[in-house]
Amino acid sequence: MKKIAIIFLLLSILTAGFVFWRVNSPEGEYLEKQIRYMMDTYVTIYAYGPKRKASSAIDHAFQRMEEVAAKFDAHNEKSPVYAFNHKGTPITDREILEVTHVALDVSKKSEGAFDITVYPLVKLWGFYKTKMQVPSENEIKAALDNVGYRHLIIKDKKLTSDKKGIAIDFGGIAKGYAADRAAEVLRKDGITSALIDAGGSIYAIGTNKGNPWKVGLQHPRKEGIFGYVEISNTALNTSGDYRRFFIANGKRYSHIISPKTGYPVGEISGVTVIYPNSTLGDAWSTAVFVLGRERGIEAVKDIPGMELIMVDAGGNISYSAGLKDKLVR
């Protein structure tokens, strides 16, 4: 499931397209940059520091992200998730259990708007392949019968289900988790200023040469951005209907599907969540997208420090009070 935000680093030396690989700063540090493709997107990591130190730290961060990507990939035949989905094999991997605990907690608090058992619906609509299609009502009803986070059971350090046909997809939370783990590695390697851009999951460490990192927000219906936010030591996660979708009979269908109705959601075009925990931010961006504006705001109002930016299907932009001085339009 996901997402994109455009990064504007606004450095002291800025070239069109941000084509340089490293910049020598007045402090004698370098800006290292590496790009790799994983989790269905191009992931870019920027880090300030001595040349070798920053480069090595980025390598380590990517290695950690690749571990996460392989482990949580529902289509990787060697992953525990694939074995669970196709053979009913219980999952005992510690990380997957940890993320599943988080996912189930968000599912409960969002009244099922976020649900990792949505796999049968995403598959039915064709978002796992190139041929996307509108299923029949009977097909959707049959798929819905195999959706429901309450069928997942974590007991004795094992993840199982109480119903045959239950399959899981971590697409709405795994990128956020990968960003958290990459940030953890960078900090462990002594990096104090960095930016991880994993498509719709972004993590900012420290500052950009003393100033907050500026992240541009893609308008879901127009070219370019509608504003930017300044962030530091926090994550920004975006769910949108503008990257993976198809149009049939004049109607737009995106990959973000309601676990309740079985149909793609249409009220919201984009949701951005700013929160220090990228794993939670990723999951909640999807949950709020499915819930819609009013219910989404209500669902997260008691989560301290969580901020929202929403663009509805009509292009109207709204944001939480905490972003009053951080969102520039």
Alpha-carbon span 195 to 54, nearest angstrom: 12
Q: Interhelix angle for 51-72 vs 80-87, to 10°?
A: 10
Q: At residue 1, does pLDDT exceed 70?
A: no
b/e burial code for range 158-196 (CB count within 10 A of at least 16 → b): ebbbeeebbbbbbbbbbbbbbbbbbbebbbebebebbbb
pTM of the model as a whole: 0.91
Assign 28 a pLDDT band (cuts: 50, 70, 90): low
Return the percentage of the chain with pLDDT > 90, whole number: 75
The chain-wide mean pLDDT, for the chain, equals 90
The SS3 call for residue 33 is: strand
Alpha-carbon span 182 to 66, nearest angstrom: 10
Tell me what pLDDT residue 82 has.
98
Give mean pLDDT, residues 245-272.
92
List % helix, strand, coil for the chain (3-state, nearest 5): 35, 30, 40
| Encoded tokens for 111 | 């009244």
71-93, pLDDT tens digit by residue?
999 999 999 999 999 999 999 99
Q: Which of the two residues, 244 and 153, has the higher pLDDT score?
A: 153
265-317, pLDDT tens digit by residue?
988 999 999 999 999 999 999 999 999 999 999 999 999 999 999 999 888 99
Ramachandran assignment for 40, one of left (phi > 0), alpha (psi -120 to 50 degrees), beta (any other)? left
Tell me what pLDDT residue 27 has.
56
221-232, pLDDT tens digit by residue?
888 888 899 999
- Say how many residues make up the chain: 329
